[in-house]
Amino acid sequence: MEEMITKKYLNDLTYKVIGCAIEVHKTIGPALVESVYEKLMLHEMRLKGLKCESQVSAAIHYKGVEIQTDLRLDILVEDVLCLELKAQQGLLPVHDAITLSYMEMLQKPKGLLINFQCVNIVREGQKTFVNRLFAALPDE
């Protein structure tokens, strides 16, 4: 039976994914490129029993037409959580916008932006985003 999507379910899932990022960062450190972190995150999340898809194509709905694009979300977790990865010095506001755009294009309620080039994932290496779809979900 598929688990009902609630705010609590998504918050618990987010906690698990951040835990995976902490484990990868603790084991490997901050000096690699994004594509390597993507592979390591996929492996770590699958070890934890999470269903993950990488490089998920995102279409744009434009004036009533769905247009396929070359835009690709790094990882979609459990078909509900958008995960965008970075490995660079600091995050920019455009990275927030990109994560929110993927959430909108893919119609997903929650997104997570993780930057592995940091000292501490929890304090400075991650941002969580929710949208109107999240707001409409039951709490538990």
13 CB-side CA count, 13 A: 25
Does residue 2 surpass a pLDDT of 60?
A: no
Contact predicate 114/125, CB 8 Å: yes
pLDDT per residue as tens digits for the range 19-71: 999 999 999 999 899 999 999 999 999 999 999 999 999 988 899 999 998 88
What pLDDT does 3 receive?
56
**What DSSP letter does each residue of 41-90 carry, written as one string?**
HHHHHHHTT--EEEEEE--EEETTEEE--S-EEEEEETTTEEEEEE-SSS
- Alpha carbons 77 and 45: distance in angstroms, whole number: 9
Give the number of other CB atoms < 10 A from CB of residue 79. 13
- Alpha carbons 26 and 52: distance in angstroms, whole number: 21
Contact predicate 85/116, CB 8 Å: yes
Under the banding of pLDDT at 50, 70 and 90, the label for residue 4 is confident
Does residue 134 surpass a pLDDT of 90?
A: yes
Q: Which domains does the chain have, with CATH numbers?
A: 7-135 (3.40.1350)
pLDDT per residue as tens digits for the range 77-109: 999 999 999 999 988 999 999 999 999 999 999
DSSP bridge partners of 84: 113
Task: Quote the pTM value.
Answer: 0.93
Tokens representing 68?
């396929």
Contact predicate 111/75, CB 8 Å: no
Single-letter amino acid code for the residue at 131: N
Longest dimension (CA), the chain: 46
- Mean of pLDDT values over 127-134: 97
